[in-house]
Amino acid sequence: MVLNQNIKVAVDAIVFGYSQHQLHVLLVQQKYGPMQGRWVLVGGFVHDDEALQAAVERELREEAGITVNYLEQLYTFGDAVQRDPRMRVVSVAYFALVNATELKLHADTDAADARWFPISALPPLGYDHDHILSVAIQRLKSKLSYQPIGFDLLPEYFLFSDLENLYCSILGQEIDRRNFRKKILSFGFLEETDRVSKKNAGRPAKLFRFNKLKYKQLEQAGFYFEIKFA
């Protein structure tokens, strides 16, 4: 049998950040090619001798000047044969959650610019990246109920109200704040520290910290994180 195949493999990265009470996504502006000037997700073709995750990490360094601590494979996009006008391309997408305030963006290689955009005010995206982003947002919303991933979007020390606002922002709805606080604190991995916030007027508020080691210990002991948002 003669194999007549000319398919390219690419990777795309959906990097979420959180600031000013809004969920943001990292986008880069294409410098060359059919999408020149358009905003797209960070990504590119996989080298012949390269692992998929290594390709994503390289593209993040080259196009946005950043490294991330955690990447999770999201989905493989390739059902739309014409998703790339140049050729048949199958893309393996990954998503990451980062504290955007700690990352300094620097566009390079085939990216003319790199910026954070709030999900509520996105520019028109190239390729099928609006669809990829939509799938990633749905995954993020779903995971909020069974993994404590929201802490990855916050700084090490934060106000409890910051955590509440983060959940409200991502879910696009109000939550029962009293029950939410009671539930989160009952898990035992959120620590109230002696540090206080200086950004609000009035009485200083205590800052909290997510104890990742404590959470891992609880998880190994059979603990299951679950929050229901009715």
In angstroms, the CA 184 to CA 188 distance is 8
Same domain (yes/no): 160, 139: no
With respect to residue 228, please indicate whether it lies within any of the assigned structural domains: no
At residue 202, the pLDDT reads 66
What is the domain count for the chain?
2
Query: Tens digit of pLDDT for each residue in 24-64?
Result: 999 999 998 888 999 999 999 999 999 999 999 999 999 99
pLDDT value at 9 more than 90 = yes
At residue 201, the pLDDT reads 62
At residue 212, the pLDDT reads 93
With respect to residue 55, please indicate whether it lies within any of the assigned structural domains: yes
pLDDT value at 10 more than 70 = yes
Same domain (yes/no): 209, 136: no
Same domain (yes/no): 38, 93: yes
Same domain (yes/no): 80, 53: yes
Domain boundary among 143, 170, 198: 143
User: E strand or H helix at 97, and its extent?
Assistant: strand 89-97
With respect to residue 73, please indicate whether it lies within any of the assigned structural domains: yes
Domain boundary among 143, 175, 201: 143
With respect to residue 227, please indicate whether it lies within any of the assigned structural domains: no
At residue 108, the pLDDT reads 87
At residue 95, the pLDDT reads 95
Identity of residue 142? S
pLDDT value at 182 more than 80 = yes
Range of the structural domain that residue 82 is part of: 8-143
User: Over the range 126-156, which residues count as b (16 or more CB within 10 Å of their CB) and which as e?
Assistant: bbbbeebbeebbebbeebbeeebbbbbbbee
Contact between 115 and 27 (Cβ < 8 Å):
yes
Same domain (yes/no): 176, 137: no
Same domain (yes/no): 183, 72: no
What is the total residue count of the chain? 230
Same domain (yes/no): 62, 168: no
Same domain (yes/no): 115, 193: no
Percent of the chain with pLDDT over 90: 78
With respect to residue 1, please indicate whether it lies within any of the assigned structural domains: no
With respect to residue 120, please indicate whether it lies within any of the assigned structural domains: yes
Same domain (yes/no): 177, 118: no
How many separate helices (H) and strands (E) can be counted in the chain?
5, 10
Same domain (yes/no): 107, 193: no
What does DSSP say about strands 39-40 and 22-30: parallel, antiparallel, or unpaired? Answer: antiparallel
Query: Tens digit of pLDDT for each residue in 81-133?
Result: 888 888 889 999 999 999 998 899 999 888 999 999 999 999 999 999 999 99
Same domain (yes/no): 132, 66: yes
Q: What is the pTM of this model?
A: 0.92
Return the CATH number at 136. Answer: 3.90.79.10
Same domain (yes/no): 134, 176: no
Query: Tens digit of pLDDT for each residue in 126-171?
Result: 999 999 999 999 999 999 999 999 999 999 999 999 999 999 999 9
With respect to residue 230, please indicate whether it lies within any of the assigned structural domains: no
With respect to residue 83, please indicate whether it lies within any of the assigned structural domains: yes
In angstroms, the CA 120 to CA 165 distance is 15
At residue 34, the pLDDT reads 86
Domain boundary among 113, 143, 173: 143
In angstroms, the CA 214 to CA 90 distance is 40
